């Protein structure tokens, strides 16, 4: 199990670094309030384990919502505020960089917890992987969050799906 969380993180870094993926993820986050780690989780789970079971998706959303609200979002808010209120003071800049690094560590921790959930849930199960499992997982996520899939979401998700296939 120790390697499972790292595999999700590596998958995310590779996908996130592909052309258009970072900006697409941030658009989905900013415009729809979607958690980028949950989006990446849906794609990763689809490629490793296949279609998400409702119970696992529920647990992943619950874990992510709490972590995002109490850890990631406060760090992001502080970093964003500091970015908008630049201060030439070196100590201010160092503090902002430290907050940015902690935000990234918090994102990584969330991914490790999601991957551990997936590993524990799927351990010993038989699973089949199909090409459209990531899309099914995203649709389940959107439905669970009460987010209506519109043309903009569909276009952005196609960018991610194409980047995954590349």
Mean pLDDT, 10 residues at a time, over the chain (166 residues)?
Answer: 74 94 94 95 94 96 97 96 87 94 96 95 80 91 95 94 87
CB atoms within 10 A of CB 161: 17
What's the domain count of the chain? 1
Looking at residue 4, its pLDDT comes to 65
- Three-state DSSP at 37 gives helix
CA distances from 61 to 8, 23, 27, 96, 135 (A): 16, 22, 19, 29, 17
Looking at residue 6, its pLDDT comes to 84
Q: Which of 50, 21, 47 is nearest to 36 (CA)?
A: 21
Looking at residue 126, its pLDDT comes to 74
Looking at residue 127, its pLDDT comes to 72
Residues of the domain holding 39: 3-165
């Amino acid at each position: 199990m120790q390697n499972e969380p790292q595999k999700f993180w590596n998958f995310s870094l590779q996908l996130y670094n592909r052309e258009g993926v970072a900006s697409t993820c941030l658009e989905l986050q900013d415009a729809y309030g979607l958690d980028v780690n949950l989006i990446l989780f849906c794609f990763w789970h689809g490629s490793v384990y296949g279609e998400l079971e409702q119970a696992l998706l529920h647990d992943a959303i619950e874990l992510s919502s709490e972590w995002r609200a109490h850890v990631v979002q406060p760090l992001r808010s502080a970093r964003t505020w500091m970015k908008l209120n630049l201060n030439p003071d070196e100590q201010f800049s160092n503090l902002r960089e430290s907050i940015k690094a902690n935000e990234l560590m918090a994102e990584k921790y969330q991914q490790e917890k999601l991957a551990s959930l997936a590993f524990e849930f799927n351990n010993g199960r038989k699973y089949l992987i199909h090409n459209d499992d990531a899309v099914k997982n995203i649709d389940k996520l959107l439905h669970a969050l009460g987010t209506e899939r519109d043309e903009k979401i569909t276009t952005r998700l196609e960018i991610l799906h194409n980047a995954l296939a590349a």
